[in-house]
Structure 1
Amino acid sequence: MDRQASELLEKIRQQYETSPYPRVPLDDSPKNDFNSLFIHNIVTSYYLRYQKIIETKEKVILDAGCGTGYKALILAEANPEAKIIGIDISEESVKLARHRLEHHKFENAEFHTLSIYDLPNLGIKFDYINNDEVLYLLPDPVAALNTMKAVLKPQGIIRTNLHSALQRSGYFRAQEVFRNIGLTDSNPGDLEVEITLETMKSLKDGVDLKSRTWQPVYEAEGGKQSVLMNYLLQSDNGFTIPEMFNMLRTSDLEFISMINWRHWEIMDLFKEPDNLPVFLAMTLPELDVEQRLHLFELLHPGHRLLDFWCGHPNLEEPVVQLCEWTASDWLSGRVHLHPQLQKPKVKEDLIECITEQKPFQISKYIGVPTIALVEIESTIAACILPLWEGVQPISDLVERWCKIRPLHPATLEPISQQAAWGEIKKLLTKLEVFLYVLLERST
């Protein structure tokens, strides 16, 4: 690493040493934050990549840039019996992270004061690497990706993200303003924060920079951290979708999915997706993933983060998508409930909906993979109740459907096995899109 890069990394270290991030109270627990647990459970990304189920027991998970350890706590909560290892260049942050995991009684965790660029020194290979809110700060993000790839197991997965150059353009301009007046020449402190606040408040409300970036939270109690992480953030860089994919190609890593993939669907930007102008109707289906994501962001740069999963390329086994399943696959297949829905409260709510014959709103527990309400009619919802006891053969759910609804409600004719299979396939296909259920082919 050259001198300029080393100096930049030292400035970043100093900022987080004096202002550790995130400032989440020690007692705060993510146990009921189903969305965060869904994202950080390695089952989610592994299933998206391989269409298979993975056990979290004894998996080794790295939180690269762990800060004060709240994400490491989420990783520990979401992945029972996994080994959690955290690294950060800020020694003070590492101390807080270690204390946080100990406080919440997670013993299978360790933390090291270490740069991402020095990861090989640990001598450990990882099943999953969480690199959240870090990559866009580093002087050489491609080198960081290469380093993480070097310690990733062959079927391992990396979660990382970049700041969007388009969505965050106002803050990059603001950072340039405060850089020009000398507020980031050294490690910003309380004085620099106060000057920043006074400057932004003094601007007219109609001034473009203020209208794009100013929020009341900056003046609220605890707002200092937000000012530092936005207006005065050291080495904050923005990227576009093409730049993101170029970085992956340079690092020989393969894109898997955006973290909140359903919120990057370009067809959702149109008033009438089924009635597009002819040129668009012909063009959009021909675009590859990179082109679709790039076009989405050009039209609607609403995401602060380009947040994604990636992994080693060249899979040995071709992935068989659900749409490619044969009749034999369905007959012998098994269905799992996503682990983050495997909660007593969710089961209680389902039983209540079945008993009272009202729709079961499954999306209210995990909303990340959907943009609208996902409901299941109470009768058919009763078919998936056994999933809270464990993995089920799909054929068993069909048998259960035949018992729950033995007669057609209109004709009172007996329900055929074929009709029952059709209903169960329709239900599972609907829920699998959102990963509420995970379907497994027999091997």
Structure 2
Amino acid sequence: MTMADGATPRVRDFYNAFPYPPDPLQDGPPPGYNWRWCYATAYSHCTGQAPDPHPRQPLNILDAGCGSGVSSDYLVHLNPDARVTALDISSKALAVARERLRRSGGEQHIRFQCISLLEAPSLGRFQLINSVGVLHHMADPAAGLAALARALADGGILHLFLYADGGRWEIHRTQQALGLLGVQADGAGVRFARQLIARLPEHNSIRQRHQRRWNLDTVDDAAFADMYLHPQETSYTLEKLFRLVEGCGLKFLGFSNPRIWRLNTLLQGEALERARALPDRQQWQLIEALNTDISHFEFFLGKPPLPTHTWNCDEDLLAATAQRNPCLWGWPGARLLDPDLQPMDLDQEEVNLLKAIDAAPSQPLQSLVDAAGDRSQRRLGEQVRALWRRRLVLLCPTPN
């Protein structure tokens, strides 16, 4: 029996009319990268260590709610040894996804399924599940999360993206107004909605917010419709989000956009000192209260058992193997974009160390003491640890 969420017919019809995301098709691999879709970097972000380089089972990845295949394309190309499965309820979106993967050269490494996310457990168990912008379009997001939890392998990680209530107030008001006016999710509805926003008074906050923040994101009609005319949507506060997560058997592993959740981006002085004394969750709630631009939550959950490695012990560190983070733009060179595409400058000693790591990715770091010149074990440990903290290298402990 085919399983379906209560909102499936409406959501399926919507995405058949507006396949999303509307990114153009192109020949060849996708441009750049997204480290959240690279299993090695995502796993290291969540646990502190790289995954086992010699796993017993092949790496299985699920893109749960793949839409037009943008995320699937990255998952295939950033994980060349993985078996990727992509599911979606929209046949029209999947047709675009298949063509995208054909043109990018990734079609041999992926299988597509036109089924509900609720059926994910029937497809097997996955070490990485990506489900971006999906649960909040279900009538019962908790049931969707429970299905993903069952499909996640022991020790696996799940990446989610859900709407945040506080940073979408103008979208919610526009949606309400369009609903009252009986605007439909079709081409005529998109044209009407665009005109409505454009003809609001110049001082109107909804118009100003759209022009300042969302205008470029909604140039394509599919993107505009997804934002303002979607038939099923739920948004979350942090409190509501953690209620959703509790009871699913998964552990919260942290946000995948950690810069947003740093207190010193908003506070200073006494306020910062007081905030740092709060438990983590209350710190995040404080940031949520003060940052009115948080329009979504993106985060990782994991299924135990999962390691936690801090690399405080030099002996463990020097016995580990290292690899350069594959999600660095501009390597080899001293001026890089880090995994979050932020500018980063390296000194020559750091460049030389990364090159030495590149040349011996399967060798214990101890072997680099002499290869790196006059660097002592202690100095090597300090430098590698600094590179790890900046997410420039991934570290894998020596097997017991």
Task: Give the TM-score normalised by structure 1.
Answer: 0.81
For 1:91 and 1:151, the matched residues in 2 are separated by 22
Letter in 2 for 1:159: H
Alignment of 1:386 onto 2:356: yes
Verify: 1:346 aligned to 2:331, yes or no.
yes
Tell me the residue number matched to 2:299.
308
Structure 1 residue 61 displacement after superposition: 0.7
- Comparing 77-86 with 236-245, greater Cα deviation is found at 236-245
Q: Deviations over 1:189-234 (max 9, x none)?
A: 1111111112112111111221222359759995322320212122
> Aligned equivalents of 2:213 and 2:142: distance in 1?
36
CA distance in 2 between partners of 1:224 and 1:398 (Å) = 57
Structure 2 distance, partners of 1:388, 1:234, is 49
Q: Shift of the alpha carbon at 1:332?
A: 2.1
Cα distance in structure 2, aligned partners of 1:365 and 1:172: 34
What secondary structure sits across from 2:167 in the alignment?
coil
The answer to whether the 8 Å contact 1:218/1:226 transfers is no
- Compute the displacement of 1:365 (Å): 4.9
For residue 72 of structure 1, report the CA deviation from its aligned partner: 0.3
- Superposition deviation, residue 390 in structure 1: 3.9
How far did 1:285 drift?
A: 3.4
Count of residue pairs brought into register by the alignment? 392
Amino acid at match of 1:248: V
Deviation digits for residues 410-437 of structure 1 (CA, Å, limit 9, x no counterpart): xxxxxxx6xx334323322222123211
Match of 2:75 in 1: 75
Which amino acid in structure 1 is aligned with residue 206 of structure 2?
L
Identity across the alignment (%): 22
CA distance in 1 between partners of 2:87 and 2:170 (Å)? 31
Match of 1:423 among 368, 376, 379: 379
1:49-88 equivalences under 5 Å are 49-54=46-51, 55=53, 58-88=58-88
Match of 1:329 in 2: 316
Partners in 2 of 1:306 and 1:220 — Cα distance? 18
Distance in 1, Cα, partners of 2:213 & 2:293: 20
Code of the residue aligned with 2:17 in structure 1: it is: T
Distance 2:78 2:136 in 1: 25
Equivalent of 2:344 in 374, 378, 382? 374
- Distance in 2 of aligned mates of 1:366 and 1:430: 15
1:398 maps onto 2:369 in alignment: yes
1:210 alignment partner, SS class: helix
SS at match of 1:322: coil
What is the TM-score with the length of structure 2 in the denominator? 0.89
Over the aligned positions, Cα root-mean-square deviation in angstroms equals: 2.6
Provide the C-alpha distance between the structure 2 equivalents of 1:394 and 1:154, rounded to a whole number of angstroms: 29
- On the 8 A contact 1:69/1:98 being kept in 2, the answer is yes
1:435 and 1:202, CA in 2 relative to 1: closer, same or farther beyond 3 A?
same
The corresponding residue for 2:263 is 266
- Measured in 1, the distance between the counterparts of 2:346 and 2:46 equals 27
Three-state SS of the structure 1 residue aligned to 2:166 is coil
Residue 414 of structure 1 is matched in structure 2 by none
Distance 2:316 2:5 in 1: 53
> Which amino acid in the other structure matches residue 339 of structure 1?
P
Q: Secondary structure at the match of 2:327?
A: helix
When residues 41 and 219 of structure 1 are mapped into structure 2, their CA distance, relative to the original with a 3 A threshold, is closer
Matched residue type, 1:340: C
Any idea what SS the aligned residue of 2:246 has? helix
CA distance in 1, matches of 2:64, 2:145: 11
Residues 285 and 228 (structure 1), Cα distance of their counterparts in 2 relative to 1, 3 Å cut: same
Q: What amino acid sits opposite 1:398 in the alignment? A: V
**Partners of 2:324 and 2:272 in 1: how far apart?**
38
Contact between 1:164 and 1:239, CA under 8 Å: does it hold in 2? yes
Please report how far the alpha carbon of residue 257 of structure 1 lies from its aligned counterpart in structure 2 after TM superposition.
Answer: 1.6
Kindly tell me: are residues 249 and 300 of structure 1, through their superposed partners in 2, closer, same or farther at Cα, counting changes over 3 Å? Answer: same
The structure with higher relative contact order (CA 8 Å, sep 6+) is 2
**Unaligned ranges ≥5, structure 2:** none
Q: Distance in 1 between matches of 2:283 and 2:32?
A: 30
Q: Which runs of 5+ in 1 are unaligned?
A: 351-359, 407-416
1:427 to 1:140, Cα distance in 2 relative to 1, 3 A: same
* Residue pair 2:321, 2:365 contacting (<8 A) in 1 also: yes
Aligned residue in 1 for 2:120? 119
